[in-house]
Homo-oligomer: A and B are copies of this chain.
């Protein structure tokens, strides 16, 4: 079988561009518009995407310019994904949930429930929480340190997977004649006792259609890479250049092999911010129009958060980006990436803020479908990606453009499916269904 690439639709409120909400084609208050999300998921499904993906945070956006930005009011991912499960048939449903301020029993249960609701389409993007805004909503003054967060996350994931294996696949016999609803010997108590968690189990959800929901990770730090290599099946990553993406890809695949896993048991999807037009001029006009809508306060606010919650609002816009202390938040890799962009391009604060106003440091492309497909093909064929997490600049138009222009181009090149062969997210991604481990 020819190797085909995988596509995620990374849906975020009005779109990924910081000024997307000011675009006249974007609905008002998009983050809480279920009609919009239904349409987006159905568009992505009609275009045969592997999955839709939602990021998350358990806090409002804070800091200078937050009120000029559209991220502070949005759906909670698991409720949104569950609603989308009912109005789609095939597309995977991946949501972000932090392991820092949750209980493994709740998380295991909700994703297993979603997997049953959707006929095997759920995936969990495990993140750790790294900022004081989130900490303050869960009884803490300071966020949890980086090492502690990852130790907790690793144990959290082991507990969740143990709970997902509470029941054998054929436990629930539903034998009306004998009166036996499940086989007692197919029910397993986890009895986990670790450093962070003590969880008895079993889970009160049968083993789910996928055996286990797909586990997704996006950490780029040393600890994040180790957790991904050992446990993740799908990895999202921010890579600005082919060289950086190749290095990350090779590193993570070799770490996975070192951990005893086949390299293809882990699929790596860099994000791609793509502004697509019928012509290059049209694409550049679209991007130009969005850039013209950027409010410097909002853009510098976004940069401040992306660069490790370091408040840049007091700095001169037209001076070089100041030297920043290394952050201890989960944004350290992104901070290094963005500082590197500024240094290499000799960018001022304003220039850097404008540069990342769309793609936030991800691969950013502006052009025709062929232009975009050329780069994606190169990355896919030259060891930089197994596919891409598509970040539309605006919604719904940016997703429509990718679905109607880029997807057919990828199909013409034999790089992307022309129909769904599988039913589950695992099947779309070519991932094995895990057997129950004891």
Residues on A lying within 8 angstroms of B by beta carbon are 21-22, 24, 28-29, 32, 34, 38, 57-60, 67-70, 72-76, 78-87, 101-103, 105-106, 109-110, 112-114, 116-117, 133, 136-140, 167, 172, 174, 176, 179-184, 187, 197-206, 293, 295, 298
Option from B80, B112, B172 in Cβ contact (under 8 Å) with A117: B80
Do residues B32 and A206 form an inter-chain contact, with CB atoms below 8 A? yes
Chain B nearest Cβ from A140, distance in angstroms: 8
Please list 19 pairs of residues, one from A and one from B, whose beta carbons are closer than 8 Å in the complex, sorted by A's number.
Answer: A24-B176, A29-B206, A32-B205, A32-B206, A57-B204, A58-B204, A68-B179, A68-B180, A70-B181, A72-B182, A73-B204, A74-B204, A76-B113, A79-B117, A101-B105, A103-B137, A106-B106, A137-B201, A179-B298
Q: How far apart are the CA atoms of A168 and B110 in the complex, in Å?
A: 30
Query: Which residue, of A22, A29, A174, has the highest number of chain B Cβ atoms within 10 A?
Result: A174
Contact among B28, B139, B187 for A67, CB-based, below 8 A: B187
CA distance in complex: A102, B105 (Å): 11
* Copies in the assembly, this chain: 2
Judge whether A200 and B105 touch: CB under 8 Å.
Answer: no
- A181 B68 Cβ-Cβ under 8 A: yes
Q: What's the minimum C-beta distance from A35 to chain B, rounded to whole angstroms?
A: 10
B-side contacts of A21, CB under 8 Å: 174, 176, 181
A86: which of B22, B69, B84 is its contact (CB, 8 Å)?
B84
Interfacial chain B residues near A174, Cβ < 8 Å: 21, 28-29
With contacts A58-B204, A82-B80 taken as known, whether A117 is within 8 angstroms of B179 at the C-beta atoms is no
